[in-house]
Structure formats: structure tokens, C-alpha cells
Amino acid sequence: MFWNKAKRLGVLLLTLSLISISARAQSEYTLETVAEGLNFPWSIAFLPSGGYLVAMRSGEVRNISADGTISEPITGLPESYVMSQGGYFDITLDPEFASNQRIYLSFAHGTPEANGTRIVTGTLKGSAVTDVTPIFTVTPLKDTPVHYGGKMLFQSDGTLLMTTGDGFEYREAAQDPHNLMGKIIRINTDGSIPADNPFADGDSGHPAVWSYGHRNPQGLDLDPATDDVYAHEHGAKGGDELNLIKPTVNYGWPAVTKGINYSGAYVSPLRSAPGLEEPLTHWTPSIGASGLAIYRGDAFPQWRGKHFIGALVAEDVRMLTLDAGEVTQEEIVFSEIAARIRDVRVSPTGMLYLLTDSDQGKVIRVTPARSEES
Amino acid sequence: MVKTIGSFLLAVITTYLLGAIFVSQGNIAAVVALGFDISFAQRLDAAVHDMLNMTDIYLPLVAISLLLGLPVAYAIVRKRPHLGLIGYTLAGFVALLAIHLIIKAVVGLSGVAPTRTLIGLLCQGIAGGVGGYLFYRLTTKLQNN
């Protein structure tokens, strides 16, 4: 009897505290749909003009102006292998974009029998991209249309990181430093390999490999305050994880994981192992982590340093607080959108932008309550 | 009829348990091949875990496989009674093999990871074959009684 009453009281208090957190968070911001009708938008890159490019898994990139006008598809970009999880992935601007107008696009390249993640670069001129050149292709090519990774990030030293997936059927490849699947790779903007990459000599690993033991990382961002790089990756059935990315480090997949196979069987009986990096946090059941933004803007001072992680399955965004390298708090935000969140980005003006994942995908801007982005 | 259904259910459960153990050890073999040590206790724990947790997808797949495969054996064995043992065993073997190959062909991905290798696939066939054999033995015994 006592325990029943105690349990009910506990549930009541928990419910009230969650309502309180949710109400407090919602009073801080306004959600505004700034573009819609997009065919599976995957990533967003903000232009100096105030508009932004949106790459869509359906295999096109559109330029959306600051007032929300959606352009026709940008021309000149390569055809993609659009199938299942394949298509266009990430789009990012060169750090010197203002002077060179170069963009970088990652996408599924190839055929059903032989496909992989590729990066091309080109020059954006109005509604076209010219001088399109492939600078990197994940090898070996695979015969599955899933687990491509594809998130890109420029580090402060000017090198480009990209996540790669294990192709689902080839998960053991993630443990092979000579194989580019299930890795984070690091290249120069022309596709050449930086001389200080951990396996640059090619003896103990592929020269492009930066870190390994990844499953399908779909979030990658740099904290400008610390220069630390973070990535998250999908687990199988459970075991989504957030990691602090360091060169040479083995993040464990598939030898070590907190998740299990979709069949219900263990992927591995090991939950941890010496020499393998433990995640900062993990999610079981899976939230379907997608998109990562570390907030260092001015529009929401209370959010500085928070990690925002989109959730495809949970249909919300997770706001994490990190302290001394540990996740100390996780709050669920923007759940009122009630849609699969594909990407989360911070605009140059400090607003959060969210992409919803559907054939009628939206760009949603998060602004401070009673404030308009100019 | 009830006893035939009971025999079928026993065949399904046996195939499921054996198949789950094969899946379990197949997954572990892949981890060991990567250079990691797995103790006997961890193998045992994994086998128990997998037998208890593969009921959502794998168990129905096993049941459907045998539900389709064993009647085929029945149709053949009715005309060729001397093929009873080999017929039901082979039917179970082929049924399990076929379901994994069909999944791979339709979805493009393996339903259970160890079937990515020939040995893993054959082990699934063996689990089905044992199920078929058991079904034959149980139903034959019932008929003889």
C-alpha cells in the first residue's frame, strides 16, 4: 500500500517537473516554418547573403532566400544514386567561400552493385555549380543502399572531416583501419591527404582515416569555444551514441556496442573493452540521432555550449549539457513539431534551424520569443 | 490434427532455439575474428540472451518457413513414403535457407547477420533440417501409436 502511494507520488512529481521544464523551454523560443514542400531535406548551408542552400536526399540542391523563396534545383551537380538511404547528403561552404564561392557536397555515388559516399567540390555561380570535381570517394564500393555517413565538417585548421557508414552488411569493416567504411576521414580541400593524419604513411591504416569503429555517424560538429569535434552515430536496436572525436581512436563498433541487432540478438556480448573509447552518452532505445549543432550564438545566451541533436525516431530534439567532458543533463525540446528531425544547424545570426524528414519536409527556424530575425 | 499441430510447434521451437544459438555463435565468431576475446561464460550468456530475445522477428520467420516447407514435404512423402526422413529433413533445411535468401533478395540486406557467410547460412539450414526431422519423427511416432 505504502509503496503504491509512493510510486504514484513519484510519477506525479516527475510529470509535473517535465511539464515545468517543457513550459519553461517553450517560453524561450518561437518556431517558425520558413520553407516547406522540400523532398527529404538532409542538410543546410548558410550563405553570406542571408539565404541558404538545402541539399535533399532526393538528389537536388535548392537555394532558399532569406524571405523563404525556394529556387529551382541548382544545376551542374552530379547525378546521385537515390535509393533507400542514398541520395544527396551534406552540403557545406568553403571557409573562404566569400572569395572563392566553392561548395562541397557529399552524396551516394554509383550503382546498386557498386556505390559509396563521394565528395565533390565546385563553384557556385548563381543557380549553377561549375567546375565540379570529385575529391574523395569511400572505398571499397558496396552493394547496399544504406549506412553512408556523409556528414562533413571543416576544422579550424582548414581540413575537411567526413563521416562514413559501415554499409550495414559490412560492419566488421569499421574495425579495419585500411578500409574507409565506418570511419571519420580527414582530407584537404583538394582531396589530398594531410601529412599529419594518423595513418598518413599508409602502413597501419588508410592515409585518410582519422578515427574508426563507427557504425553510421549522422551528426558532426565542432565546438568553436574549445575546438573539440563531436559526432553521434546510429546504433542498431539501441546504442545510438555521442562521442568526442579524437584522431586514431577506435570507437568500438561492432566489437563493442550498447545496442543489439534488429533481430534481437547481440551484435557482440561486449559492452566495453580495453582500448576502445566509451561514448559520452548513449540512447537505448534508439532516438535515431541525426544532425548535431553546438550552440555558441548570441540569440539564446542560456543555450551557449548546449549540444542540440535531432531525433528521427523520437521526433524531437535533445538538448545536452556537458560539463568537464561529461553529459550532465538531457532535455527534450521542440517535441511540439512532432516530426522526424533530420538536421539541426545554427545560423550565422545565432538562430537554430531544423529540417524535418519527409517528402514534404520543412525548414523550421527557432527564434527567441518575441523576436524576429532581421 | 491436434497432435500434428503440437509436433509442428515443437519443431518450430526446436528450430528457433537451435537457429538462435547458431546466430549467437556466428555473431561471436565475427567479433573473435576481429581480435577480441570472448569467454565461455559470455558465449553462454549471449546464447541465453538471444534465445530469449529473438522472438519478435526471427521466431515468426522460422514458423512461416516451416509452415510453407513441411506441407511440401508432406505432399511428396505421401506419394513416396520411403522418402519420409530425408523429405522432411530436407524440407526444413531448404525452408530456412530459402527464407534468408528471400529476405536478402527482397530487402537487399541480411535478416540475421551470420547469414552473410555461407557457413552461417548453412547453419540456419541445419536448424531447419533438425526441425523437419523432429516433425517427421514425432508425427511418425504418433501414427505408429
Using CA atoms in the order A326, A27, A65, A47, what is the torsion angle rounded to 10 degrees?
Answer: -30
**Per-domain residue ranges of chain B:** 2-144
Q: What sign has the CA pseudo-torsion A105, A110, A112, A117? A: negative
pLDDT digits (tens, 9 = 90+) for A204-230: 999 999 999 999 999 999 999 999 999
| Mean per-residue pLDDT of chain A | 93
Note which residues in 19-48 of chain B have CB less than 8 A from chain A.
20, 23-24, 27-28, 30-31, 33-34, 36, 38, 42-43, 45-46
What is the 8-class DSSP label of residue B83?
A: G
CA distance B144 to chain A (A): 39
Gap from A104 CA to chain B (nearest CA, Å): 30
Residues of B in contact with A146 (CB under 8 A): 109
**Residue A287 backbone class (left: φ over 0; alpha: ψ -120 to 50; beta: rest):** alpha
Residue A4's pLDDT is what? 54
Is B117 part of the contact surface with chain A (CB cutoff 8 Å)?
A: no
Residue with cell 510510486: A7
Helix (H, G, I), strand (E, B), or coil: what is residue A17?
Answer: helix
pLDDT interval class at A24 (50, 70, 90)? low
Q: Would an 8 Å CB–CB cutoff place B65 in contact with chain A?
A: no
For the beta carbon of residue A7, count every other beta carbon within 10 angstroms: 10
For residue A247, cis peptide bond before it (omega within 30 degrees of 0): no
Q: pTM surpassing 0.90?
A: yes
The answer to whether B56 contacts chain A (CB < 8 Å) is yes
Q: Residues near A2 by Cβ (< 8 Å), separated by ≥ 6?
A: none
Task: Please state the rounded mean pLDDT for residues A170-182.
Answer: 98
- Report how far residue A143's alpha carbon sits from residue B54's, in angstroms, rounded to the nearest whole number: 27
Q: Can you tell me the distance from the alpha carbon of A233 to that of A251, in angstroms, rounded to the nearest whole number? A: 10
Chain B positions touching A264 (Cβ under 8 A) are 50, 53-58
Query: CB within 8 A of A106, min separation 6: which ones?
Result: A88, A89, A90, A91, A117, A118, A119, A150, A151, A152, A162
Q: Which residue has the higher pLDDT, A8 or B27?
A: B27
ipTM of the complex: 0.92
Give which of A324, A303, A155, A151 is closest to A227, Cα–Cα: A155
Question: What is the C-alpha to C-alpha distance for residues A228 and A305, in angstroms, rounded to an integer?
Answer: 12
Torsion of CA B50, B53, B58, B64, to 10 degrees: 120
